[in-house]
Amino acid sequence: MAIVRDKIRDHPTLQHLDAKRVCDRVRSEWRHRDPEYEEVEDTSGNPAPPEQTESFDEKMDRFLKARPSDKSMCSSSDVVPPSNPSYVSKNIFSDEERKFLLRVCGGMVRGGIISKPAVKQLLEKTDEGKELLHKFKIDQLINQLKYERRLNNHQKST
């Protein structure tokens, strides 16, 4: 795990992911390698990154050929939802929205009760707060504040 953490620390795409999940994904990819596409192992000690053997257009053609052409033949079981439902709604707040929410409701995050009526009342006092209430559901705002509290508590403990 220490090696994975070290390798993903400065990676622009992977640095925000949990090292355990990255490690699990790599192991999964190794386990399910297609022998047809396996390359000869490099004995120099430096593994070469995999090379793309198929273009995006070729992948799409292959995907569409494998699908039934008649839409009535598709069932709801053909649609696979994300394994983690929160992935879809991850990072829905911009940095400015998050900072504004913390500025207005920061006292609740640092300590106290995060309540819907109190958050709504604080946000309704400003135009920017009213925009947030219009753009997001109150539950989404509450969840973001609770997330910020957990993040704040975690940073204090480390």
Q: What does the CA dihedral 131, 134, 137, 142 come to, rounded to 10 degrees?
A: 30
Place of tokens 């946000």: 123
Does this model's pTM top 0.85? My answer is: no
Residue 154 φ then ψ, to 5° = -65, -40
More confident residue, 99 or 44: 99
pLDDT attached to residue 124: 94
User: Which pLDDT band, with edges at 50, 70 and 90, does 157 fall under?
Assistant: confident
State the pLDDT at residue 135.
Answer: 92
Mind listing the pLDDT tens digit for each residue in 40-78? 554 566 667 767 677 878 888 877 776 555 554 555 555
Average pLDDT, the chain: 78
116-123 and 95-110 helices, crossing angle to 10°: 130
- Domain extents in the chain: 1-32, 95-157
Percentage of the chain beyond pLDDT 90 is 24
